[in-house]
Amino acid sequence: MTISETLLPEFDREMSGARRTLERIPEDKLTWKPHEKSTSLGRLAGHVAELPGFAKITIETDSLNLSARQHTPLVPTSRAQVLEAFDQKVSEARAAIAGASDEHLMKPWSLEYQGKTLFTLPRAAVLRTMMLSHLIHHRAQLGVYLRLNNVAVPALYGPSADESGM
């Protein structure tokens, strides 16, 4: 079994859960924040929608310099915009992962910021930590935002208080 064959079932499962969570974002609360220091619900949803795209970047480049990157974060104006961006990034990410050889996934990849290397890891490890785990973390945050706005939280790893099954 290849590395990509071991990653893809987990990727598919986590993307399914992320999509179910994003489908529930209330369009009338996109600017809502639980605290003045918090990210808005819409920007958080946009971040979750964009995170799968990190897989393609990781596979197609040797490094990413955050301070030099020209990126405009997604601050959506609708749920449809979030879902469209998410679906596109998931499709691109899945294709990139599926097409990557074990040899390529074991090559080092670096994240840089302001002239410093923050880390260098094999691409496979970057996919698991900086894309999958990072997405799971922010999806959980989004679940809290949903709960605080009385929106049903989807069952992801077992029942939620709102759903008995998956």
Phi, psi (deg, nearest 5) at residue 119: -165, 160
Determine the pLDDT at residue 135: 98
Determine the pLDDT at residue 166: 56
Find the angle CA(21)-CA(27)-CA(31) to the nearest 5 degrees: 100
| Position 39 in a domain | yes
Residue 131 half-sphere exposure toward CB, CA atoms < 13 A: 27
| Position 165 in a domain | no
> Domain range holding 120?
3-148
Map tokens 């698991």 to a residue. 128
| Position 159 in a domain | no
Q: How many domains does the chain have?
A: 1
Determine the pLDDT at residue 72: 86
Beta strands in 61-113 (DSSP E): 63-65, 108-113
Residues of the chain with pLDDT under 50: none
| Position 80 in a domain | yes
| Position 44 in a domain | yes
| Position 45 in a domain | yes
**Tokens linked to 50:** 């964009």
Map tokens 């064959």 to a residue. 5
| Position 106 in a domain | yes
Q: 100, 123 in Cβ contact below 8 A? A: yes
Percentages of the chain per state (helix, strand, coil), in multiples of 5: 55, 10, 35
What CATH number does the domain containing 10 carry? 1.20.120.450
* Count of C-beta atoms within a 10 Å radius of residue 28: 8
Q: What is the pLDDT of residues 99-145, one digit of tens each?
A: 999 999 999 999 999 989 999 999 999 999 999 999 999 999 999 99
| Position 153 in a domain | no
Phi, psi (deg, nearest 5) at residue 118: -75, -40
